[in-house]
Structure 1
Amino acid sequence: MDKELEEVNKFYNIVIEFIANYSFQILGALIIIIIGIFVSRYVQKFVLRVMINNKIDETLSGFVANFVRFLVVAIMAILALGKLGISIAPFIAALGAISLTAGLALQGSVSNFAAGIVLVLTKPFKIGDTITVHDVYGEVEDIKLSYTSLRNEDGEQITIPNKYMIGDVLVNSFSYRVVEGNVGVAYDSDVEKAISTIKDVVLSQKDVSSENEPIVGVERFNDSSVDIAYRYWAPTKSFFKTQYDVNIKVLKALNSADITIPFPQREIRVLGEDSVSK
């Protein structure tokens, strides 16, 4: 019992001695940390407000503001450790080793973040545009620093790492995509009337872009028909629906205008009738 009381008394003396020797250092370190937290919040809001007022992208502004806040807290933490008399050299060395290891492990992620910053600064597309990259297309739904989200007509969400947005050919057709179609008419049909009929159908479709005039004309001369091609712009969200609606209306309009859509024909002539009769 006396031994236990002696150990408790010894521990108590150590605690009292520690508090007596380091109480002001601990208090000073806590004050530095608290001041750092408040200052970092103020600096973060200030940086964010300045960047937004200068019309810098909101995503990049938030990233920079958060990074500045982290730097302020890190600097105050280093000052607090120095106040306690703790050498920060081992911490800096350890931080460097951790940073190197993390950089190698997250090399792909880092490249995505770097590409995201380039996208935000250069702005090759914006939310609502239709882009095609890596044979994938869709309407831009969200732009993050590490990836970009697209949404296609089927409602599928497509997530593309930003490094592919910078390192590959990117096609931006904004909010529309071009639709191409063709139909063959008979050689004895009024081709100019057929072209005018198809153009009227395309122009009457409400979903077709009014900013880009549809193009209709003779594409080629086939064995059994004159092929008429037509091109117009349809919204990405209703690309196939618009295409199918236009096609059925073109068919009905051509039939109503008595314009023949031929099928492949072959004319066969038999020579040497006398030999055949034998």
Structure 2
Amino acid sequence: MQLDTEKISSYTDRFINGIVDYSPRLISAFLILFIGLWLISLLNKLAQNIMTKRNLEPTLTTFLANILIWVLRVLLFVIFISQLGVETSSFVAILGAAGLAIGLSLQGSLSNFAGGVLIILFKPFKVGDTIEAQAEVAKVLEIQIFTTKLITASNQIVYIPNGILSNNKIKNFSQNNTRRADIIVKINYDTDIKLAKEKLMEVMKNHPKVLRTPAPALIVNDLTDTGINLVLRPWSKNENFGEMSSDVLEFSLRELEKLEVTPFAKVNT
């Protein structure tokens, strides 16, 4: 079998001419790719620096930076294959349909993500705050993208979805530096109410962790069938609240017992 040198030469010439003709497009496509990757890296660092300077939460900063970098990479890939001469209209249509399907299947997760962004932007609480939400009173350990991680006083970890958290009532005990306790005690009708109030005021004024400003207060809250409800309202710093309210309750009950009163007590926080 003899080789047809003319055909081989013709195919070789066509191949070389094709490479020569296509090489500018190939070179420009890879230049776009490498320069684009470098610019994306630069923009990602710049965006992270801007978000850090604006005191955004580290979790949000990292997540937004990751979203930015992947969106830019997808756009760069589309430009790259377009420069190579590949038809991109069908590719973009498939990408859009896939994005729509993923979005519909992850509606709950997207709601939680949006809730996390709102929490981080508007800051109803931050890491380290003690909050009450969804019938839980706990300290915030971490604000994640989809959930917020809490730890209760009994050392239990609680995860609350951000979508639910951002759309419901949140009570923040740490946002202000001071906190007031409402301590309810009940005395009998035959008790000397004036003397009882004086003794209870002394308890609050003599406690070292009860603030002088705002001044503690004592009011008659209710007249019930079984006695008179008095409310002690001492203030303290957040870090002293638990100890202060416990001490004031205990010392108040001791003083009422000295007056031969059978006391009933309750602490509202």
Q: Do the structures match in fold with TM over 0.5?
A: yes
Tell me which amino acid in the other structure corresponds to 1:98.
A
Which deviates further from its counterpart, 84-93 or 231-240? Answer: 231-240
Q: Secondary structure at the residue paired with 2:140?
A: strand
Distance 1:166 1:252, change over 3 A: same
Tell me which amino acid in the other structure corresponds to 2:120.
V
- Tell me, which stretches of 5 or more residues in structure 1 are unaligned? 1-12, 265-278
CA distance in structure 2 between the aligned counterparts of 1:213 and 1:204, rounded to whole angstroms: 12
Name the counterpart of 1:181: 183
Post-superposition offset of 1:143: 2.1
1:221-232 correspondence runs (5 A): 221-232=223-234
Post-superposition offset of 1:34: 3.2
Equivalent residue in structure 1 for 2:218, among 211, 216, 219: 216
CA distance in structure 1 between the aligned counterparts of 2:53 and 2:121, rounded to whole angstroms: 16
CA distance in structure 1 between the aligned counterparts of 2:200 and 2:208, rounded to whole angstroms: 15
CA distance in structure 2 between the aligned counterparts of 1:160 and 1:101, rounded to whole angstroms: 26
Contact persistence 1:182–1:227 (CA under 8 A): yes
Distance 1:200 1:115, change over 3 A: same
Which deviates further from its counterpart, 223-232 or 160-169? Answer: 223-232
Aligned length: 247
Post-superposition offset of 1:67: 2.5
Contact persistence 2:256–2:263 (CA under 8 A): no
Summarize deviations over 1:182-230 as a string: whole Å, max 9, x none.
2223444332332233344345556667765443222233445333222
1:123-134 correspondence runs (5 A): 123-134=123-134
Name the counterpart of 1:149: 149
1:107-118 correspondence runs (5 A): 107-118=107-118
Distance 1:260 1:148, change over 3 A: same
Q: Secondary structure at the residue paired with 1:150?
A: strand
- Tell me, which stretches of 5 or more residues in structure 2 are unaligned? 1-10, 265-269
Larger Rg: 1
Name the counterpart of 2:106: 106
CA distance in structure 1 between the aligned counterparts of 2:31 and 2:213, rounded to whole angstroms: 63
CA distance in structure 2 between the aligned counterparts of 1:30 and 1:251, rounded to whole angstroms: 81
Tell me which amino acid in the other structure corresponds to 2:33.
I
RMSD, aligned α-carbons: 3.6
Name the counterpart of 1:87: 87
Q: Secondary structure at the residue paired with 2:173?
A: strand
CA distance in structure 2 between the aligned counterparts of 1:138 and 1:208, rounded to whole angstroms: 24
Which deviates further from its counterpart, 131-140 or 95-104? Answer: 131-140
Q: Secondary structure at the residue paired with 1:125?
A: coil
Post-superposition offset of 1:48: 2.0
| % identical aligned pairs | 27
CA distance in structure 1 between the aligned counterparts of 2:117 and 2:69, rounded to whole angstroms: 18
Distance 1:69 1:144, change over 3 A: same
Contact persistence 1:40–1:70 (CA under 8 A): no
CA distance in structure 2 between the aligned counterparts of 1:209 and 1:130, rounded to whole angstroms: 21
TM-score when scaled to structure 1?
Answer: 0.70
Contact persistence 1:179–1:232 (CA under 8 A): yes
